[in-house]
Amino acid sequence: MLGCMNQISQVTQVSPISHTSSITQPAPVDVHRPLQGRTRERASGHEAGSEKTPRLLTEVWRRGDGDHQVGLDVEGGVRLRVADDIAAALRLLDGRHTLEEVAALEAVDPVALRETVTSIPKHLWAADGDAAPAVRLIGAGHLGRTFAEQWTAARPTVPLVLIDPMPPPPGLYEQRYPSAAACLQAALAEGCVPDHGLDVSTRQHWWDAPGRPTITVIAQDAAECDRALTGSLVRDDQPHLLIRPLPTGAVVGPLVEPGTTSCLRCADLIRAGDAGWGSVLAQAVRRRVVPSHHHLAWAASVAVFHLGRWMDHGACALQGATWESTEISGEHVTRLWPHHPDCGCGGL
């Protein structure tokens, strides 16, 4: 393990790590000398150093030699030779503060802090550091609740807007409110960790959400979602992720970015080769389905992981694809859904 850690690449004001190891060490990253070939992109620093609220994706660790380390993985971690106060300032870059605010809080030179920020490789920064993320969740039944509980545990500070005006499913909530969304909001508030800053609100209809969310998650207890909803999201240029229950499993995806990826209508057009699909779809939209507890947990965890990766890096494996798990297969199956030429969504 120690030999592997010696492979950590380095940035600004760093000399190569001297060590004795039988493992070949990759060339250290030096932002003053561009790397050649495929490593050039990784070597480039945080291009958006001027973003309003940059967010570092990993911890800043203290090393025994007086230096600091960003990240733990062998290939992606970097070693920093910076003062302790600069390292402390880096730890505050959580997407909620500007560089100037952090510099003032830690009483450090803002120029030195910005130079350090711009030297750290961009794969260690959130892709949208200048925009506060927010998630709109449509569905507060069994599937929506499981997703919301896992999502707020993983990202408690990301605002979550709940949309589900229907009465709660029988036996799902101890709380008694007219709508499932209100019940879920109360359940999340009761289960949250103090001081986590949980930000959960409700709205009567999905188009009534305040501002513009980063993404909409559709997790209703229906075998298929209403295509009028997904069509409106495409026309509104709103990214959305689908989580659908099956009688014997669950399907996660696709994550749709209008104009970039395929959409749900693309998938329907692909399935149109089956003459009976349209009739089945019309019935499935009205069919309430509750999968087993382990499939609910599986679907929610897959969605939380890939949604977090998409928000942090701008890409994930669910773009133009679905992950499906059923009792029949006993394992998850990945299906790719390319753009259909007869769909006007503009996906690639």
**Residue 46 confidence class, pLDDT cut points 50, 70, 90:** very low
Question: Cα 261 from chain centroid?
Answer: 17
pLDDT at 118: 85
Q: Taking residues 18-23, what's their average pLDDT?
A: 30
pLDDT at 79: 85
SS3 of residue 219 by DSSP: coil
pLDDT at 175: 82
**Structure tokens given for 302:** 């897959």
- E strand or H helix that includes residue 298: helix 293-313
CATH number at 135-336: 3.40.50.720
Segment among 98-112, 190-204, 329-343 with least mean pLDDT: 190-204
Residue pair 179/167 in contact by the 8 Å Cβ criterion: yes
End-to-end CA distance of the chain: 42
CA atoms within 13 A on the CB side of 213: 27
- Between 207 and 2, name the one with better pLDDT: 207
Residue pair 147/243 in contact by the 8 Å Cβ criterion: yes
Residue pair 322/253 in contact by the 8 Å Cβ criterion: yes
Q: How far is CA 138 from CA 58, 188, 209, 224, 243, in A?
A: 30, 16, 11, 13, 10
Q: Is the pLDDT of residue 183 over 90?
A: yes
**Residue 210 confidence class, pLDDT cut points 50, 70, 90:** low
Q: Taking residues 323-339, what's their average pLDDT?
A: 88
Is the link from the previous residue into 121 a cis peptide, with omega within 30 of 0?
no
What would you report as the CA-atom Rg of the chain, rounded to the nearest whole angstrom? 23
Residues 228-272 pLDDT 10s: 999 999 999 999 999 999 989 999 999 999 989 999 999 999 998
**Residue 182 confidence class, pLDDT cut points 50, 70, 90:** very high
pLDDT at 313: 84
Residue pair 303/325 in contact by the 8 Å Cβ criterion: no
Whole-number average pLDDT of the chain: 80
Domain boundaries for CATH 3.40.50.720 within the chain: 135-336
**Residue 28 confidence class, pLDDT cut points 50, 70, 90:** very low
Q: Residues of 1-33 as b/e, b for ≥16 C-beta within 10 angstroms?
A: eeeebbbbbbbbebeebeeeeeeeeeebbbbee
Q: Residues of 297-326 as b/e, b for ≥16 C-beta within 10 angstroms?
A: ebbbebbbbbbbebbbeeebebbbbbbbbb
Segment among 35-49, 135-149, 220-234, 329-343 with least mean pLDDT: 35-49
